[in-house]
Amino acid sequence: MSPLISETNTSFKWFILATATFVTMLYAMNVTIASIALSDMRGAMGATQDQISWVVTGNIVATAIFTPFAGWLSSRMQIRTILFFSVIGFIISSIFCGMSDSLEEIVIARIAQGIFGAPLPPLSQTLVLAAFPKRQISVAMAVWGMGTILGPVIAPTIGGYLGELLNWRWIFYTLVPFGFCALLAVIATVPKRPVESGMHLDWVGFFALACSVAALQIMFDRGERNSWFDSTETFVECGIAIIGFYIFITHSLTTKKPFINLSIFKDRNYTVGLILIFFFGMLNFVPMVIFPPLLQELRGYPQSIIGLILGMRGIGTFVGFAIIAFTSRIDPRIIIFFGFGIQAVSGLYMSTFDINMTFSHIAWASLVQGLGVGLTWPPVSVICFATLSNKFHGEATAMFHLIRNIGSSFFISVSVAVVLHMGQINFEEIGSTVSLWNQGINFSGVINSLDDLNVTKLTNELNRQSLMVGYIDAFKLYSWVGFLSIPLIFLIKITKTQNN
């Protein structure tokens, strides 16, 4: 029985679970909330598409860098104290996001959101792992996982409605009341516990890992805009990422007290779990980032409708969690197999979309994808920590969420790059067939003469059709990632404890 359980009665652990879930949901709400308002912010601040992307990039980079920092903080301070100040900082930075009047101000505020929000998921997961015995971890992880999944559903739904009704600033103000509720929950339920020992902070390892992750994230996000390795910037960022990672690995292998204890990777299930959570991260948030511009630019849907469509994903996730709750004695590899398989099938279904897709088509795809997410997240979380020693939970959960964040941001950038690149290629191919002598165009009356109005309409329609093909290619790639992750499931080693 863990120290946390001995300090609290057995029923109080459910209050701790509720708080950990809500705190994680607060963080998760921040992940995609800005994506539904980028176009409005770009117009309000007079920024270009490349410049406004830093509203998302800055937050992702800050979160990725400071996530591993949570393990060291938890060895120096009480988790209760860390969560308290993290939530307060998150609330204040969210208010400043809404009050920002320039691009520089909102980017700085979003970076602050990432810094204060980074410790929330790993420390919340540490609380849950410490409060529950192994026989109840599967159910506890299913409940806790709702925070990670439901946050990106609730935020766009409420934020999209308020953003359309009022203005884009209210998208960020939406986070404030949730933040105060999380703060009260932390104060009321998270117990005080003595800090066992102060972990030595390996500054060399930390800065090497931070520089590597930051350079990698920025390279992924800006690669398509810079034509990838045709740009000197991409070479510099790639070089920094490789050198930083090399220094981190070599230093961690040679120093007595590394920033991340590499011995945690000796645990087979933990290592396989990290690979699976990387694939899960790739699949998790991509539809939520791709759907808003697809629906807004190609179909003209308002923010409120987009929020409702994304909300359908939450229904599927709830169904997945409900299934997990009643199948705790089934081999978790079977559940994970169906989870990744359903997500892969949803990608195939989305790849059949065309420019005339309806609300029901998109809502159904979101529902199916959410079901796959709900089936995958809890068992992967359980498998990852099932055989790992409790003394490694702090840094292991930090690395767990770091890998997931890298997977998410990496595949989001790749998917967006596929949409833009394939859209451009298809625009050139389709455009080359457009002329006054093409009877397939003439018969519809689109081109009767080369006046400016018709050329403009035709160009816009070609752009819509070309981008749609790009989105279809991105959905096909999404499906392939889902199928490729399935063979890794057979590397999981199941023990008797995990089956009970």
Over residues 348-369, mean pLDDT: 87
Residue showing tokens 């279809």: 472
Cα→Cα distances 307→319, 339, 462, 463, 489, Å: 19, 24, 27, 25, 33
Whole-number Å distance between alpha carbons of 117 and 131: 22
Q: Position 434: which residue type?
A: V
Give the whole-number percent of the chain exceeding pLDDT 90. Answer: 14
What is the token pair recorded at 239? 């070089």
Between 370 and 196, residue with greater pLDDT: 370
* Rg of the chain (C-alpha set): 23
Determine the pLDDT at residue 495.
65
Determine the pLDDT at residue 442.
53
Given a cut of 70, whether residue 433 has pLDDT beyond it is no
Residue 376, phi-psi category: left (phi > 0), alpha (psi -120 to 50), beta (remainder)? alpha
Quick: pLDDT tens for 154-179.
Answer: 777 777 777 778 888 888 888 899 99
User: How buried is residue 425: exposed, middle or buried, by Cβ count under 10 Å (0-12/13-18/19+)?
Assistant: middle
Of the pLDDT bands very low, low, confident and very high (cuts 50, 70, 90), residue 49 is low
The most confident of 120-124, 216-220, 455-459, by mean pLDDT: 120-124
Determine the pLDDT at residue 16.
87
Determine the pLDDT at residue 441.
53
The most confident of 59-73, 111-125, 214-228, by mean pLDDT: 111-125
Determine the pLDDT at residue 32.
67
Determine the pLDDT at residue 246.
93
Other beta carbons less than 10 A from residue 488's beta carbon? 16
Give the CATH H-level superfamily of domain 1-199.
MFS general substrate transporter like domains (1.20.1250.20)
Given a cut of 50, whether residue 1 has pLDDT beyond it is no
Cα atoms in the 13 Å half-sphere on the side-chain side of 286: 37
Given a cut of 50, whether residue 438 has pLDDT beyond it is yes
What contacts 107, CB < 8 A, 6 or more positions away? 54, 55, 58
Determine the pLDDT at residue 443.
46
What is the token pair recorded at 411? 């595949």
Residue whose C-alpha is closest to residue 473's, from 308, 332, 311, 348: 348
Assess contact for 413 and 61: CB atoms under 8 A: no
**CA–CA–CA angle 395, 495, 329 (5° rounding):** 105
How many whole angstroms from its chain centre is CA 482?
16
Over residues 208-226, mean pLDDT: 80
Over residues 323-350, mean pLDDT: 86
DSSP string covering 442-490, please?
Answer: HTTTS-SS--HHHHHHHHHHHHHHHHHHHHHHHHHHHHHHHHHHGGGGG
Assess contact for 489 and 337: CB atoms under 8 A: yes
What is the token pair recorded at 55? 């509203």
Residue whose C-alpha is closest to residue 321's, from 397, 376, 381, 383: 376
The most confident of 138-152, 170-184, 423-437, by mean pLDDT: 170-184
Over residues 278-285, mean pLDDT: 86
Given a cut of 80, whether residue 393 has pLDDT beyond it is no
Determine the pLDDT at residue 454.
61
What is the token pair recorded at 254? 């040679």
Mean pLDDT of the chain: 80
Of the pLDDT bands very low, low, confident and very high (cuts 50, 70, 90), residue 340 is very high
Over residues 146-153, mean pLDDT: 73
Specify the CATH architecture of the domain 265-500: Up-down Bundle (1.20)
Between 330 and 444, residue with greater pLDDT: 330
User: How buried is residue 343: exposed, middle or buried, by Cβ count under 10 Å (0-12/13-18/19+)?
Assistant: buried
**Where do the H-state alpha helices sit in 132-226?**
137-165, 169-173, 175-189, 203-222
Given a cut of 70, whether residue 451 has pLDDT beyond it is no
Determine the pLDDT at residue 243.
95
The most confident of 134-138, 229-233, 340-344, by mean pLDDT: 340-344
Given a cut of 60, whether residue 404 has pLDDT beyond it is yes
Total H helices, total E strands in the chain: 23, 0
Whole-number Å distance between alpha carbons of 144 and 471: 32
Whole-number Å distance between alpha carbons of 373 and 376: 5
